[in-house]
Structure 1
Amino acid sequence: MAAANESITKDMFLPAELDQSANEKISGEVVSVWKDAFRRFVQNKGAVASLIIVIAIVLMALIGPHLNNYGPTDQDLNRSNLPPRIAALSWLPFFSGKEDGIDVYQQHGIKKDFWFGTDQLGRDLWSRTWDGTQISLIIALIATLVDVFIGVTYGGISGYFGGRTDNILQRILEIISGIPSLVWIILLILVMKPGLIPITIAIMATNWIAMARIVRGEMLKLKNQEFVLASTSLGASHSRIIFKHMIPNSLGMIIINTMFSIPSAIFFEAFLSFIGLGIREPQASLGSLINSGYEVLQLHPYQTVYPGLVICLLLIAFNLIGNGLRDAFDPKLRH
């Protein structure tokens, strides 16, 4: 009780020794937007696995046709419709070289293996599958890059200037999007022969519309931000503000939409080739290979399985990568 009754004096308190410079120190690690997005993308196991699958397919598309002695257009009717056979995996039913219990290779007197089998003209499906994958990826890549360029430029100008410019450009956009893509294809086929260039142009004709609308929305959101107003007050030109300040700040959305555009272009090419409006013989694409195998699906299903498996892996993998990038760049999903 005596201690409780002691009076509190000023001598009992001493000033705390504080370093004023400590207030200026940042307690955590400084992480840039791109580094943070990369960390969060790597944590997405599905997206990383999909990226590995895409890289593996691209590598096989480049080196696959050169792994054996058969070109994608080499024909030999003596080896037509051979089932897949790999000597080291002959214990597996899918690579035994047998159909209905009959050794087709022994029946035709063929000693060499065809890993994916052959088609009706005796062409090696291994070489044709990877060569077709290469063509499909080239078409999708060219179409997507051009779509990004047109869509970003068109959407950036429309959203930045607004007013009458935006109104006119958006009405043009609505007219173009109102015409079905298949109509564009048929019109191009009437003018040009089916092939690599017409199908690429056809995909580019309408795929950029989604990118333009997304970039326009980003421009409308960013053009009233402080950094844009500061650049305007310093006398920066319109082109510099759009392409040096606003587009880089929209790069996350552009990358995400690009990753979704690639599988869309691959599927569109496969669909057109499947219905006979795309790649023609003797060239091969994934869609044309599926179309050829569809004709003998009940007798020789392997001719459809392998190109179908490749296109399914590409579509699923690119979509998962797009989802992973969307989650990585979206600040609302940060924990």
Structure 2
Amino acid sequence: MAVANQDITKEMFLPAEIDRTENERVSGEVVSVWKDAVRRFVQNKGALLSIFIVLLIVLLAVSVPYSHNYDPTHQDLNRSNLPPRVSALSWVPFLNGQEDGIDVYQQRGIKKDFWFGTDQLGRDLWSRTWEGTRISLIIAVIAALVDVLIGVTYGGISGYFGGLTDNILQRIMEIISGIPNLVWIILLILVMKPGLIPITIAITATSWISMSRIVRGSMMKLKNQEFVLASKSLGAGNARIVFKHLIPNSLGMIIVNTMFSIPAAIFFEAFLSFIGLGIRDPQASLGSLINSGYEVLQLHPYQTVYPGLLICLLLIAFNLIGNGLRDAFDPKLRH
């Protein structure tokens, strides 16, 4: 069937109603980088649970040594090597104060409970465990602060200026990192008394190196960006560019690396105390408690189990938090 020819005229068309502002409207919600990172971190259930675990451990480590009835350093040989006992949980096999079917508390005429038992000198392991946790956390926090203060500053200056400055700073860092940590600690123990201060200095002496390398690489990548050239054109000095522009743009990487440095410091302190180069009696740390309990592991395993579980919880929790932060700040995972 043939279609009749028809002339196309202007009256057949109507002008389209087009709003020019529609082209500039964003279809999705405008979300900042930090807000998106927080939202994705909150969706990580493992990281959130780890934060609650860490906060609970910190709360107990701060409060128990000062609120408990027993002094962590008080000795009483009459109550040496007592098994754990919690009267309200006496139906639990490992919390009834018995060894080989014998009620040790009744045998010695002791009426008070020791929730984690006692060590060879009769010291309360509940208060000593949380006292040791507090010391281990203090060392870890100091190491993290040194990472941020020294590592970020050192790496930022080295990466931003480059050239001769970078070469000199990198050679110094290579000399420092070339000396093993154990050598640092042995030298410090020869000069200072073994304790909290020498082990803290030894851990922080080289812990900032990895942070400085990460920040240096980030500075070398960002310093040639357009916003740095714009800041220079407006008269900004080098210090302002480094600390106000470049380092904030690397903040996500810095936070993630800081979170990973905390469990590394806790493990290193526990290792040093375990081999006898760290915290000494009467002070306690998680590593020194494990070292003391290791001597009677076959007879009284509870003296090693509780500080060992705390170290495992701290290491796993901080690593999960670090993994959650790394995923939250990774731009490849943004939706």
Q: TM-score range by the shorter chain?
A: over 0.9
Q: CA deviation at 1:317?
A: 0.7
Question: What do the CA deviations read for 1:38-57 (whole angstroms, capped 9, x no partner)?
Answer: 11111111111111111111
Report the AA paired with residue 168 of structure 2: I
Segments of structure 1 that go 5 or more residues without pairing to the other structure are none
Counterpart in the other structure of 2:198: 198
Change (3 A) 1:275 1:5: same
Distance 1:139 1:5, change over 3 A: same
User: Deviation per CA, 1:74-132, whole angstroms, max 9, x where unpaired?
Assistant: 21111111111111111111111111111111111111111111111111110000111
Instruction: Using structure 1 for the length normalisation, give the TM-score.
Output: 0.97
Aligned equivalent of 2:91: 91
Cα distance, 1:97–1:5 mapped onto 2, change above 3 Å: farther
The CA distance in 1 between the partners of 2:191 and 2:109, in whole Å, is 47
Q: CA deviation at 1:255?
A: 0.3
AA matched with 1:233 = S
Matches within 5 A, 1:1-335: 8-335=8-335
3-state SS of 2:211 partner: helix
Deviation readout 1:219-255 (Å, 9 max, x if unpaired): 0000000111111122211111100110000000000
Give the Cα separation in 1 of the matches to 2:283 and 2:100.
31
CA RMSD of aligned residues (A): 1.4
What amino acid does structure 1 have at the position aligned with 2:142? I
Aligned residue for 1:110, secondary structure, equals coil
SS in 2 for 1:83: coil
How far apart, CA to CA, are the structure 1 residues paired with 2:113 and 2:279?
Answer: 28
- Sequence identity percentage: 83
Cα shift readout 1:112-163 (whole Å, capped 9, x = no counterpart): 1111111111111100001110111011111210122110011001000001
SS for the counterpart of 1:30 is coil
In 2, distance between residues paired with 1:91 and 1:21?
73
Q: Distance in 2 between matches of 1:72 and 1:12?
A: 95
Aligned residues: 335
TM-score by length of 2: 0.97
Q: Tell me if structure 1 keeps the 8 A contact 2:143–2:261.
A: no
**After the TM superposition, which of the residue ranges 191-200 and 7-16 deviates more from structure 2?**
7-16
Question: Which one is further off, 298-307 or 7-16?
Answer: 7-16
Corresponding letter in the other structure for 1:62: V
Give unpaired runs (5+ residues) of structure 2.
none
Post-superposition Cα deviations, 1:146-205, rounded to whole Å, max 9, x if no partner, equal 122110011001000001111111111111111111111101111101111111100010
Q: Which amino acid aligns with 2:106?
A: Q
Provide the C-alpha distance between the structure 1 equivalents of 2:82 and 2:12, rounded to a whole number of angstroms: 97
Deviations for 1:26-81, whole angstroms, at most 9, x for unmatched residues?
22221111110011111111111111111111111112224531111121111111
1:12 is displaced (CA, Å) by 2.9
For the 8 Å contact 2:89–2:96, the answer to whether it is kept is: yes
Q: Distance in 2 between matches of 1:284 and 1:171?
A: 38
Residues 1:110 and 1:13: Cα distance change in structure 2 (over 3 Å): same
